Amino acid sequence: MIPTITAFERSPDRGRGLARDMRVRWALEEVGQPYEVRLLSFKAMKEPAHLALNPFGKIPTYEEGDLALFESGSIVLHIAERHAGLLPDDANGRARAITWMFAAINTVESPILDLTTAKFLEGDKSWYAERLPLVMERIRKPLHELTAWLGEADWLEGKFSAGDLMMVAVLLRLKPSGLLDEFPKLSAYVARGEARPAYQRAFAAQLAVFTAGSTG
Ligand code: GTB
């Protein structure tokens, strides 16, 4: 059965692959699962039909027969569990890879989201300039720790897994801020993720949506 995911009809990132459908597309490409995409406007995301799929009115969602999922982490885990290629065969190795998925979306992504909030919702506040360095420091701390863990390794646990996919997808959100440049090992790690053919296919697919929308 071909799953259907949802994505922005017109992504605010202008096709830079920063919206969260990108990680789902990437996972599907890694395991060789074809998929369909339903594009949504911001208005459509808040309408009952979409709220029935995601009560929070956001993309991405994932539909496969009777199953409807939301939350990019849950969707990527579902894909990784049902197909070979994104989780190790042994139980402990799988648990470690899943642990890294949680680390990515909880420990590493949370302070990154705080930066987005600061920039877009608090930029006009009198205390913005004073708070910004604190927000940046909270991002840097787990990045230093992640750098130490990675050492000279290519991937978090030896072989590329869903944990790396989520971690790279999360770190990519830092690119526009320039913060990733302070961490050469993490920049190289992200570049290894971006170089994967599955990433390239997923990136091209989401960029094509933006390009088609811009010319029409
Ligand atoms: N925790 C959820 C998940 O992981 O799936 C969060 C989903 C989410 O925040 N989705 C966003 C959304 O639907 C798109 S990805 N927003 C619409 C709304 O809230 O009305 C977040 C995002 C948006 C834009 C950029 N960008 O422009 O760079 C990057 C990331």
pLDDT digits over 91-127, tens only? 999 999 999 999 999 999 999 999 988 888 888 888 9
DSSP codes of every residue in 54-69: -TT--S-EEEETTEEE
By most ligand atoms within 8 Å of CB, the mutation choice from 59, 77, 109, 115 for ligand 1 is 59
Residue 61's pLDDT band (cuts 50, 70, 90): very high
pTM of the model: 0.96
Q: For 68, what's the count of Cα atoms within 13 Å in the CB-facing half-sphere?
A: 10
**Distance separating alpha carbons of residues 99 and 162, to the nearest angstrom:** 10
pLDDT, one tens digit per residue, over 1-18 is: 999 999 999 999 999 999
- In whole angstroms, how far apart are CA 213 and each of 20, 40, 76, 201, 206? 19, 12, 27, 19, 11
By most ligand atoms within 8 Å of CB, the mutation choice from 5, 21, 58 for ligand 1 is 58
Specify the amino acid at residue 86.
Answer: L
Supply the residue whose CA is at minimum distance from atom 27 of ligand 1: 13
**Residues in the ligand 1 pocket, defined by CB under 6 Å:** 12-13, 18-20, 42, 45, 57-60, 71-73
